[in-house]
Structure 1
């Protein structure tokens, strides 16, 4: 039952100069229109591990 499930998005490749920002991703995915679920976008870099643990907290 996913009715109360949250949504976690890892925004990888944050070490790449041309990557989308968290705000741009939120706008592109229209996340602010989601009112009945909690959501979070976590900026991260898989190469360094930066942001990965924070997303799971």
Structure 2
């Protein structure tokens, strides 16, 4: 899914992928492995990506994800989760 988009779109060369797994405060929320599989993130090669568990209502995970994105987009290495 995202891998195909990154592969086809020249404008996205060098872009990092930040995925917020929202609604983590609800029962049945997907874990990292399920999100990775659903979005086929494992197919993304030669670029950084990360999943951050989030709860927008509680304000959890949002700043951490944005910090990672900022660091990764502007010269940092990130952790490539």
What TM-score results when the alignment is normalised by the length of structure 2?
A: 0.65
| Cα offsets for 1:10-46 (capped at 9, x unmatched) | 1100000111112110011111111122111110000
> 1:45 is matched with which residue?
55
Larger radius of gyration: 2
Higher strand fraction (1 or 2): 1
- State the distance in 2 between where 1:37 and 1:29 align: 15
Q: Which one scores higher on RCO, CA 8 angstroms, separation ≥ 6?
A: 1
- State the distance in 2 between where 1:14 and 1:23 align: 14
Number of aligned residue pairs: 57
- Provide the alpha-carbon RMSD of the alignment: 1.0
Return structure 1 stretches of 4+ with deviation > 6 angstroms: none
Q: 1:10 aligns with which of 11, 14, 20?
A: 20
